[in-house]
Chains A and B, each alone.
Chain A
């Protein structure tokens, strides 16, 4: 119970901090939009080719923006060694992990409602609103999957000078299952799903999230206590 209360307080604190630093959220979102734009320049003005790759580009833009958001999430904690202050109170490291992972998930979830419409417009894809909701729900699962290892790795790399290189280097190969699952599922949502395949991809995303939410929670206390 105390663990949950502490985790929720960490979430509340992070949300408040995010709200105070709104300009950061906006920059991350703008970064996502710029990425979407660059992809269309890379493919050319061929609207059929663009539509065919829309799902991949959208998920990639979300992934790239997510990495930016994750790396920032522990920079605040390191500034005045605030994370040390939390651990000394004492906040249980497990509560700290789940709190940070939850707030990161919320932050990443927020990217989709903004970036998806932009992608749909840029790549000339038309879908009905119901499917859009399914897409957002799917991204929520993917965001949970990304945040679990992302929070653990951000906690470690934020102590190092080369965080900007190291976090993507560690995270991108690791989240290949999330990337593949999300791209396939989003493509099915955008183009229609006659074979009912979307379920198996969703199961993949859910399993990834469940596995890493449990394992990283166990490993985080070791990682964070060594990083002080």
Chain B
């Protein structure tokens, strides 16, 4: 029997919530007045966007910490958060593309949030690409932290400039005008995906640490003094 770890609780809870939330989103919540059934993709789309941002923000915070402490654990957390963030980001783009096809009739639209997400994906994919080219652990950790900080700060800049550039996304609907039966599955799924993300990040961090230990566990052997005076 494998050892039970705290993050597995998050994993199972997240999967259960996701099942309930998605069921409610698909069968209980009423269809949206203008967009109809297609709008139900919102119940995974919006949570992916929220949690993806949470992951990147966490990566940014841990990058600053990692630059400060130089601890391998913090570097592992940065990497874990970026990787999970990228997966959610990619899902977000695919869902956004499906939604765009259904509502606007095109697979891609240069809407501000969709475009920002794409740039964000490329920014953080670049961080991982650079990381994969560096062998030395300490250098890899520092460079990952540096590029993560630089990339994260770019996100609001990209957002604003794309917004000026053009915009035709729906305005965020305020919760008051929405049926409570639509809000509930959205909330459930948001927590579900957050929990699953925490679970994956924790697993990823542990894997990265295991790799680090495998490479760094051995202490150097001590040679016997080969005659003469040992030191002064």
Contact = CB atoms under 8 A, between A and B. Distances in A.
Interface stretch (B9-17, B24-32, B44-52, B158-166): B158-166
B146 A223 contact: yes
B150 interface: yes
B134 A160 contact: yes
A161 B134 CA distance: 10
Nearest to B127: A170
B104 interface: no
A169 B127 CA distance: 9
A226 B162 contact: no
Contacts of A1: none
B72 interface: no
Contact of A162 (B119, B127, B133, B145): B133
**On chain A, which size bracket covers the interface?**
20 to 34
B8 interface: no
B129 interface: yes
B149 A219 contact: yes
A211 B157 contact: yes
A226 B138 contact: yes
A212 B153 CA distance: 9
B159 to A, nearest CB: 9
A2 to B, nearest CB: 25
A91 interface: no
B130 A157 contact: yes
Contacts of A177: 154, 157-158, 160-161
Interface of A, secondary structure class, is: helix
A227 B143 CA distance: 9
A223 B142 contact: yes
B161 A180 contact: yes
Nearest to A218: B149
Nearest to A171: B126
B150 A174 contact: yes
Nearest to A172: B122
B161 A204 contact: yes
Interface in B107-164: 119, 122-123, 126-127, 129-130, 133-134, 138-139, 142-143, 145-147, 149-151, 153-154, 157-158, 160-162, 164
A81 to B, nearest CB: 16
A86 interface: no
Interface in A2-26: none
Contacts of A69: none
Interface in A159-181: 160-162, 166, 169-170, 172-174, 176-177, 180-181
Interface of A: 149, 152-153, 156-157, 160-162, 166, 169-170, 172-174, 176-177, 180-181, 184, 200-201, 204, 207-208, 211-212, 215-216, 219, 222-223, 226-227
Given A172-B122, A222-B142, A226-B143, 10 more contacts: A152-B150, A160-B134, A166-B129, A170-B127, A170-B130, A176-B119, A177-B160, A207-B157, A211-B153, A226-B142
Interface of B: 67, 119, 122-123, 126-127, 129-130, 133-134, 138-139, 142-143, 145-147, 149-151, 153-154, 157-158, 160-162, 164-165
Going nearest first, the 3 A-B pairs with the smallest beta carbon separation are A173-B122, A226-B142, A170-B126
